[in-house]
Amino acid sequence: MSWTRLDDRWTERPVLAQLSYETRWHYLAMIQFCSRTNRVDGVLTVKDAMRCSDVDDPSRANQELLDAGLLEPDIGSIRIVEIHEHVPPPSVRQKAENDKIRKRRERAHKAGDHSLCLPDHCSHVTVPTSRVTPGRDRTGQDA
Protein backbone atom coordinates (compact mmCIF):
# COMPACT_ATOMS: atom_id res chain seq x y z
CA MET A 1 0.00 0.00 0.00
CA SER A 2 1.27 3.44 -0.84
CA TRP A 3 0.55 6.60 1.07
CA THR A 4 1.15 10.29 0.65
CA ARG A 5 1.90 12.86 3.32
CA LEU A 6 0.21 16.24 3.06
CA ASP A 7 0.36 18.99 5.62
CA ASP A 8 -3.05 20.00 6.99
CA ARG A 9 -2.59 23.41 5.38
CA TRP A 10 -1.25 22.08 2.09
CA THR A 11 -4.18 23.48 0.08
CA GLU A 12 -3.66 26.91 1.64
CA ARG A 13 -0.09 27.30 0.41
CA PRO A 14 0.34 30.52 -1.59
CA VAL A 15 2.16 28.74 -4.41
CA LEU A 16 -0.85 26.46 -4.91
CA ALA A 17 -3.37 29.30 -4.60
CA GLN A 18 -2.06 30.83 -7.82
CA LEU A 19 -2.66 27.60 -9.75
CA SER A 20 -5.85 26.37 -11.36
CA TYR A 21 -7.84 23.56 -9.79
CA GLU A 22 -6.85 21.25 -12.66
CA THR A 23 -3.15 22.00 -12.15
CA ARG A 24 -3.38 21.40 -8.40
CA TRP A 25 -5.16 18.11 -9.07
CA HIS A 26 -2.50 17.11 -11.60
CA TYR A 27 0.26 17.98 -9.11
CA LEU A 28 -1.34 15.82 -6.42
CA ALA A 29 -1.73 12.96 -8.92
CA MET A 30 1.98 13.25 -9.78
CA ILE A 31 2.91 13.08 -6.09
CA GLN A 32 0.72 10.01 -5.61
CA PHE A 33 2.17 8.40 -8.73
CA CYS A 34 5.64 8.78 -7.19
CA SER A 35 4.40 7.30 -3.92
CA ARG A 36 2.68 4.37 -5.64
CA THR A 37 5.70 3.57 -7.83
CA ASN A 38 8.25 4.11 -5.03
CA ARG A 39 9.97 7.05 -6.75
CA VAL A 40 11.25 8.71 -3.62
CA ASP A 41 13.43 11.00 -5.74
CA GLY A 42 10.34 12.47 -7.45
CA VAL A 43 11.67 11.87 -10.97
CA LEU A 44 9.08 11.01 -13.62
CA THR A 45 9.50 10.54 -17.33
CA VAL A 46 7.76 13.22 -19.36
CA LYS A 47 5.41 10.51 -20.61
CA ASP A 48 4.43 9.53 -17.04
CA ALA A 49 4.09 13.18 -16.04
CA MET A 50 1.65 13.68 -18.90
CA ARG A 51 -0.64 10.83 -17.93
CA CYS A 52 -0.62 10.97 -14.13
CA SER A 53 -4.05 12.53 -13.99
CA ASP A 54 -7.18 12.94 -16.06
CA VAL A 55 -6.88 16.68 -16.71
CA ASP A 56 -7.74 17.87 -20.21
CA ASP A 57 -4.41 19.62 -20.81
CA PRO A 58 -1.56 17.98 -18.89
CA SER A 59 1.03 19.93 -20.89
CA ARG A 60 -0.40 23.21 -19.62
CA ALA A 61 -0.57 21.84 -16.06
CA ASN A 62 3.06 20.69 -16.20
CA GLN A 63 4.12 24.09 -17.56
CA GLU A 64 2.26 25.92 -14.79
CA LEU A 65 3.99 23.69 -12.22
CA LEU A 66 7.36 24.34 -13.84
CA ASP A 67 6.69 28.11 -13.83
CA ALA A 68 5.68 27.95 -10.15
CA GLY A 69 8.92 26.15 -9.27
CA LEU A 70 7.17 22.98 -8.07
CA LEU A 71 8.73 20.94 -10.88
CA GLU A 72 12.23 20.96 -12.36
CA PRO A 73 12.97 19.88 -15.90
CA ASP A 74 15.65 17.33 -16.64
CA ILE A 75 16.72 15.55 -19.82
CA GLY A 76 13.71 13.41 -20.71
CA SER A 77 12.20 13.72 -17.23
CA ILE A 78 10.59 16.00 -14.69
CA ARG A 79 11.34 16.12 -10.98
CA ILE A 80 8.96 17.12 -8.21
CA VAL A 81 11.05 19.54 -6.16
CA GLU A 82 9.38 18.96 -2.76
CA ILE A 83 8.82 15.21 -3.07
CA HIS A 84 10.61 14.59 0.25
CA GLU A 85 7.69 16.33 1.99
CA HIS A 86 5.13 13.95 0.49
CA VAL A 87 6.65 10.51 0.00
CA PRO A 88 8.04 8.72 3.05
CA PRO A 89 11.66 7.64 2.70
CA PRO A 90 12.55 3.95 2.23
CA SER A 91 13.50 3.64 5.92
CA VAL A 92 9.92 4.46 6.96
CA ARG A 93 8.46 2.05 4.41
CA GLN A 94 10.86 -0.71 5.54
CA LYS A 95 9.97 -0.11 9.18
CA ALA A 96 6.29 -0.57 8.35
CA GLU A 97 7.06 -3.86 6.58
CA ASN A 98 9.24 -5.06 9.46
CA ASP A 99 6.48 -4.16 11.92
CA LYS A 100 4.02 -6.33 9.96
CA ILE A 101 6.40 -9.30 10.09
CA ARG A 102 7.04 -8.78 13.80
CA LYS A 103 3.30 -8.64 14.58
CA ARG A 104 2.70 -11.79 12.52
CA ARG A 105 5.37 -13.59 14.57
CA GLU A 106 3.91 -12.25 17.80
CA ARG A 107 0.38 -13.42 16.96
CA ALA A 108 1.62 -16.87 15.95
CA HIS A 109 3.72 -17.14 19.12
CA LYS A 110 0.75 -16.23 21.33
CA ALA A 111 -1.31 -18.88 19.52
CA GLY A 112 1.34 -21.52 20.27
CA ASP A 113 2.83 -21.64 16.76
CA HIS A 114 6.57 -21.16 17.12
CA SER A 115 7.47 -21.85 13.48
CA LEU A 116 7.96 -18.11 12.82
CA CYS A 117 9.76 -17.36 16.10
CA LEU A 118 13.39 -16.30 16.11
CA PRO A 119 15.76 -18.56 18.07
CA ASP A 120 17.19 -15.60 20.00
CA HIS A 121 13.73 -14.55 21.21
CA CYS A 122 11.86 -17.78 21.95
CA SER A 123 12.92 -20.79 23.99
CA HIS A 124 10.45 -23.04 22.12
CA VAL A 125 12.36 -22.79 18.84
CA THR A 126 14.42 -25.84 18.01
CA VAL A 127 17.39 -25.18 15.82
CA PRO A 128 17.93 -28.00 13.33
CA THR A 129 21.32 -29.64 13.64
CA SER A 130 23.07 -31.72 11.03
CA ARG A 131 24.75 -34.96 11.96
CA VAL A 132 28.27 -35.16 10.62
CA THR A 133 30.15 -38.43 10.60
CA PRO A 134 33.89 -38.55 10.06
CA GLY A 135 35.36 -40.44 7.15
CA ARG A 136 33.87 -41.54 3.85
CA ASP A 137 30.35 -42.80 3.45
CA ARG A 138 31.67 -45.73 1.34
CA THR A 139 29.20 -45.21 -1.48
CA GLY A 140 30.11 -46.49 -4.89
CA GLN A 141 32.25 -49.37 -3.66
CA ASP A 142 31.81 -52.89 -5.01
CA ALA A 143 30.28 -55.37 -2.63
Q: What is the dihedral of CA 106, 110, 114, 115, to 10 degrees?
A: -60
Indicate the pLDDT class of residue 139, thresholds 50, 70 and 90: low
Chain segment 80-112, per-residue pLDDT in tens: 999 999 987 777 667 777 888 888 888 988 888
Average confidence score pLDDT of the chain: 86
- Which CATH number is associated with domain 10-85? 1.10.10
Comparing CA positions, the residue from 83, 74, 95, 100 lying closest to residue 38 is 83
pLDDT at 102: 86
Which of 65-69, 81-85, 120-124 has the weakest average pLDDT?
120-124
Chain segment 30-49, per-residue pLDDT in tens: 999 999 998 989 999 999 99
